[in-house]
Structure 1
């Protein structure tokens, strides 16, 4: 339970990074930023994977995104920009328009905070509480600050704070950039609702949520280092290496992996299949982890007899 388990928490946090404004933890809890040379190395990489599905009158570009990035990573150019410019629809995991993002606070509070008198440490055994308090003390975060949060939401809050401290910013995330640069009048399509994304974690059994949280606080700095490596593979466009890293990181909890990745990948392949019945061009931007490794979106498309070609 080292770096790869922390990555699972950061992956969940990145899935919901657009919601970071609702984090309940203080900024002073952040740990030291990653070295400047690491960011420079990421900036030098080019070519995140871009895929295409097409028939005689429909084209769907599929781009693997990262929901938060260091400012120095430059990916928006070449085939990616050309594909977006040619598309009449921008398809994202959830609605990323500013109006919708601004209204998410109540939904998050209802899902992520206890409202029945329980507390975070109160749902733990003595052994779990001791492990949690020891881990959180190393991060300089007061344990009582997390008590109102359900375990899964506490884990994501911690991961987000650490990501921000390491230079990862949701404002630099791919979806935010796409939303800011897409042509006026482009149709917006959301594959899921915020309520559905939150339920992926909120409906996990309590024991899975607690394990998720304890893994997050065990070795966060090693997890950040692993995430740096994953981002570098994404920026370079090495889908095979990215898939191998994600496969290893996700192996420890099949239930979370199935809910966070496999079930959604199958759903999105179904959406693409149906969308091919409508003429036009669409740009689909979803987390890069869904387009790499076993049971990826491409795998489920293949099961439907749909060919996918890589164009970057």
Structure 2
């Protein structure tokens, strides 16, 4: 059974932040219910002259969240350097780059590459969200899959402007913080675009099956993030075996690379606030797990 795992992680809490900037057709914002003050999780890595704070973000939210409170606010305000997935001033450039990369170059229609039963289900999914069945005929399967995840969220009022990454960026600009990105927009797009076509089609099929539950899945993930319940968040994000390749490319390999960067950063004095998708800081193979494997202690602060 396909669960909340990678299809939600790739949009909401495990980063491909660049991809959440895509405009969604027919998106109608709705009011979100009020909620109690959040207490999102926070971790610390430190040596004698360096402190690195690890803070998980949610890329899209239905309304602003006051994340800048308590230990998180203290950590952010103490840092001179903000580390993010992509540069905080390049997200506006992402949609055009994504759309260009998503175009098919083989002269085939996306629907014509699908097995008959998969095509029928895919067309029904498009119809269910008010799109013509030909909406993504000229695009690659990964793009159609991502849009099928994004559109219901946009329709429910989720957007990047109220996501935590955007809110962190606003405060960072106000403070004129140094921003060090771990990746580029081009790199993030390439993670999907270089997936084998069969993997892309499998991913699309899983998204189609999960489409009716996407908002409930995301709501559950956001609730766990607000509560700082890393254990429950990890459970929600637990991958199925069918997601192994996508999870490796989108999650695990990046966590390994980021942990290496963090280990190297400890050699330089300073206070650093790292804000990346919450899915990278939860569950097996997380950034914390990778750091621990390298002999580095990670302490939970909140």
- Structure-2-length-normalised TM-score: 0.92
- Per-residue deviation, residues 8-59 of structure 1 (Å, max 9, x unmatched): 3232233345544543x5226x6x95x85xx33xx21521101110101111
Could you tell me which residue of structure 2 aligns to residue 96 of structure 1? 88
For structure 1, list consecutive stretches of 5 or more residues without a partner in the other structure: none
1:209 and 2:173 matched? no
Give me the CA root mean square deviation: 2.0
1:288 and 2:278 matched? yes
Could you tell me which residue of structure 1 aligns to residue 103 of structure 2? 113
Give the direction of change, closer, same or farther, for the CA distance of 1:16–1:298 in structure 2 (3 Å limit).
closer
- Report the alpha carbon displacement of residue 221 of structure 1 after superposing the two structures with TM: 3.0
Residues 142, 193 of structure 2: 8 Å contact kept: yes
Equivalent position SS for 1:253? helix
- Report the alpha carbon displacement of residue 107 of structure 1 after superposing the two structures with TM: 2.4
Match of 1:229 among 220, 223, 226: 220
Equivalent position SS for 2:55? strand
1:268 and 2:253 matched? no
1:80 and 2:92 matched? no
- Report the alpha carbon displacement of residue 160 of structure 1 after superposing the two structures with TM: 1.1
**Cα separation, 2, equivalents of 1:105 and 1:226:** 25
Aligned length: 299
- Report the alpha carbon displacement of residue 250 of structure 1 after superposing the two structures with TM: 4.5
- Structure-1-length-normalised TM-score: 0.89
Residues 90, 186 of structure 1: 8 Å contact kept: yes
Residues 45, 232 of structure 1: 8 Å contact kept: no
Residues 6, 243 of structure 2: 8 Å contact kept: no
Residues 251, 280 of structure 2: 8 Å contact kept: yes
Residues 113, 149 of structure 1: 8 Å contact kept: yes
- Per-residue deviation, residues 212-264 of structure 1 (Å, max 9, x unmatched): 112212242312112111110110001111111111x4543100111111111
Could you tell me which residue of structure 2 aligns to residue 168 of structure 1? 158
For structure 2, list consecutive stretches of 5 or more residues without a partner in the other structure: none
